[in-house]
Amino acid sequence: MKTYSNWPENYPDTTWFTNARFGVFIHFGLYTLGARHEWFMTNEQITPENYRKYFEHFDPDLFDAHQWAQEIKATGAEYVVFTTKHHEGFALWDTKLSEYKITNTPFGRDLLAELLPAFRQVGLKIGLYHSLIDWYHPEFPIDGLHPCREDKSYRATNNKRTLKSYQDFLAGQVTELLTEYGKIDYMWFDFSYAHRDWGWSVGKGADDWDALRLETICRNLQPEMLLNDRFALGHGITTPEQYQPDKPLYQDGLPVLWEACQTMNGTWGYDRNNQQWKSAEQILQMLIDTVAKGGNFLLNTGPNGRGLIDKQSKERFKELNEWFYLHNRSIKECGPSEFIAPADCRYTQNGNRLYLHIFAWPYGHIHLKDLAGKIRYAQFLNDGSEVFYRGFDPEEVITTTETIIEPNDIVLQLPTKRPDSLVPVIELFLNN
Ligand code: GLC
């Protein structure tokens, strides 16, 4: 039986993914050195020749796979998605199909070969991001997104570029990734834009990637591996980016399998001058909001050119870590609840445990709809301390100075001062 509207019946089991709920995205590549958005090659219309200086200077000398693995594991994340190749076309592994690869830079090491075992060692599941778009490959037809879109001599090469050769290259690189680096749990392709039309060129989509072939390769080589939906074949994990849906996602009467991907400062690659950092509290609220709506949360970090996760990301990671240490069970293995959460709150639920996440601390009381007679016990998750609650009492004489409780509701009695926790959580034990 189909569980999710966008997940074919013959696709693998998704339990590890929906149980995990939280992953870390890592954007790392030549754009890391430019340090001004991972799209600057095309934003600034830089030709592959002029972009080559980043290739020649790529040397993240302080990179330490075990350090990344520990820092990421410590956030509370259960999986990672790492960029093997972004739109710039640079391969972060020792591909045999191109000279444009990490082992030909001053760094000279196969980063993927170091990273994946380190991630697995700390128990993280492995996701690989792979760009369908390639602004370096000489056979990739130039379109309106390409850095050389306004360069006449470049555009003239389009009649010599054969899409089939690029498709073979893409298929070949994906095959390498799925055969030479052990078990891959999640493949994250990026992205299709067939609806775009610039007059002299159009966007690219499933047919241009020969997505059916890529999908078959994925299914054959890694039968248990999950796939996102950016091939545009109409199925796979949906990945809204830098956007929070306002309700649980449903299609054709079934829930949608989805993952919100979010940045900490608005860009994916390391961006030195961009200081629009979301606070740890804001990030955590987004994460909780996502789980309350039935999605996973993929939080990005863009390590810097020395190979270090920057201070701002680390500070946020640390706060997430402290929160997860105490509140893990309100997220992991949890999903949305049928109950309607009060204002400024989100519910997540796992069986008969209902978790109330309080985003804005109210004074004294909080009213919970439709829970009369359904609760056995309530406690704060941060310290396991009991929370008193009461329901409507028909015997009670209502005066204007007392709490007003609707017959189906209950009222939690809260301390005036909020618990010292980024987002306080009350664990409600429901009657079986
Ligand atoms: C986007 C962007 C990109 C980023 C990604 C993450 O579509 O092209 O730079 O890697 O998706 O969701």
CB atoms within 10 A of CB 17: 21
Q: Which residues make Cβ contacts (< 8 Å) with residue 167, sequence separation at least 6?
A: 208, 209, 210, 213
pLDDT reported for residue 402: 61
- Burial status of residue 68 (CB atoms within 10 A of its CB: 0-12, 13-18, 19 or more): buried
Q: Please, where are the H alpha helices in 198-243?
A: 206-209, 211-221
pLDDT reported for residue 391: 87
Is the CB of residue 241 below 6 angstroms from any atom belonging to ligand 1?
A: yes
Q: Which helix (H) or strand (E) holds 292?
A: helix 280-292
Q: Residue whose CA is closest, atom 3 of ligand 1?
A: 268
pLDDT reported for residue 258: 98
Tell me how far the alpha carbon of residue 285 lies from the centroid of ligand 1, in angstroms.
22
Q: Residue whose CA is closest, atom 12 of ligand 1?
A: 241
Enter the tokens of residue 416: 């005036």
pLDDT reported for residue 26: 98
Is the CB of residue 189 below 6 angstroms from any atom belonging to ligand 1?
A: no
CA dist 203 and 194 (Å) reads 4
CB atoms within 10 A of CB 349: 19
Give the chain's domains with CATH numbers.
15-330 (3.20.20.80), 345-430 (2.60.40.1180)
pLDDT reported for residue 393: 74
pLDDT reported for residue 405: 84
Is the CB of residue 190 below 6 angstroms from any atom belonging to ligand 1?
A: yes
| pTM for this predicted structure | 0.96
- At position 425, the amino acid (one-letter code) is V
- Per-residue pLDDT of the chain (432 residues), as tens digits, is 789 999 999 999 999 999 999 999 999 999 999 999 999 999 999 999 999 999 999 999 999 999 999 999 999 999 999 999 999 999 999 999 999 999 999 999 999 999 999 999 999 999 999 999 999 999 999 999 999 999 999 999 999 999 999 999 999 999 999 999 999 999 999 999 999 999 999 999 999 999 999 999 999 999 999 999 999 999 999 999 999 999 999 999 999 999 999 999 999 999 999 999 999 999 999 999 999 999 999 999 999 999 999 999 999 999 999 999 999 999 999 999 999 999 999 999 999 999 999 999 999 999 999 999 999 999 999 999 999 999 877 776 555 556 678 889 999 999 999 999 999 999 999 997
Angle at 135 (CA atoms; ends 129, 140), nearest 5 degrees: 100
Tell me how far the alpha carbon of residue 27 lies from the centroid of ligand 1, in angstroms.
9
Atom of ligand 1 at shortest range from CA of 230 = 7
β-pairing, 353-358 vs 389-391, is unpaired
pLDDT reported for residue 397: 59
